[in-house]
Structure formats: C-alpha cells, structure tokens
Amino acid sequence: MKSKLGGIGKLTDKVTDKLAGYYGTTVRRFVEKTGGDKSKIAELESEIMASYLHVTSSDTDQRHLKCPQGKECWCFYNRALANNKTPPSHNTMRERIHINSKEDSRQ
C-alpha cells in the first residue's frame, strides 16, 4: 500500500518500510534477550535509537555512539574499532538510509 506521506524532504514508503523492519528486528532481539520484561523498556528505547542512528550513519556523520561495543557486536563500525582496525566505509553497509541528504528521496 502506497502512502500519501512520501515526497521530497519526507520519508518515502521504502524508507518507512526499512525503518519498520529494523525496529521489528530490535524489538524481537530485545524480547529474546529479556523475555519481554517491561521493566527494561528504557533499554528497548535505547536500542531502537541505536538502530536508527546506525542505519543513518555515513562516512562524514558517524552515529554509532549508542551502538553496542565489543569485538563481536553487530555494529561493523564499533566492531572494527574494538578489533583495532580501521572501520570500513559506510558505503559497504548492506542496509543504509540516507535520511539527512537528498538521497533519501531516491530510496
């Protein structure tokens, strides 16, 4: 179903679907980790924000501060840093959203 909300300077249907997919993955990962413990909902909020910031990062605007840290974390950028490697370009990301540029209108 195509929404009437897309357009220049607005989220397109494709970007909206991608974000919904990422948030769904984050919620499922949270439920697996916590058993759906509502007392930890602030942790879920933080993880959703991390997911958003991660997929909207670029080489000139790295937004991985809320991403997990460590040598085996899911964030390629923080994982590279933890392994004392130079993070690869964001252009190599399988999924990326150009939310802060004109490119978002092409997604």
Q: How far is the CB of 88 from Zn ion (least distance, A)?
A: 12
Minimum CB–partner distance for residue 42 and Zn ion (Å): 20
Kindly tell me which of 6 and 22 has the beta carbon lying closer to Zn ion. 22
**Could you list the residues that contact Zn ion (CB under 5 A)?**
54, 64, 67, 75, 77
Nearer to Zn ion, 54 or 104 (CB): 54
3-state secondary structure 31-83: HHHHCCCHHHHHHHHHHHHHHHHHHCCECCECCCCCCCCCCCCCCHHHHHHHC
